[in-house]
């Protein structure tokens, strides 16, 4: 049952190191999330938004 003991030891070490690190330091190590549009659709939304910004504005006839 050595592997079970090793697992418990590993988990307790991870928990202790997590609890001992300051909250600010833990926040600095987290990566910012990527936008969901880029995650699901890749570069297509970025390309469309750039095309929309570059296209000239149309005048509407009233």
List the domain boundaries for the chain. 2-47
Nearest-angstrom CA–CA distance, 10 and 3: 10
Contact 38, 46 (CB under 8 A): yes
Residue 13 confidence (pLDDT) above 70: yes
- The larger pLDDT score, comparing residue 1 to residue 41, is at 41
Give, as one character, the DSSP assignment of residue 40. Answer: H
Residue 6 confidence (pLDDT) above 80: yes
- The larger pLDDT score, comparing residue 12 to residue 62, is at 12
Average pLDDT over every residue of 28-39: 80
Give the pLDDT score at 60: 63
Give the pLDDT score at 37: 74
């Amino acid at each position: 049952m050595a592997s079970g003991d090793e697992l418990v030891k590993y988990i307790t070490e991870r928990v202790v190191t997590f609890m001992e690190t300051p909250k600010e330091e833990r926040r600095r190590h987290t990566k910012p999330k990527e936008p969901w549009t880029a995650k699901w659709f890749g570069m297509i939304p970025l390309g469309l938004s750039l095309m929309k910004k570059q296209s000239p504005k149309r005048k509407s006839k009233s």
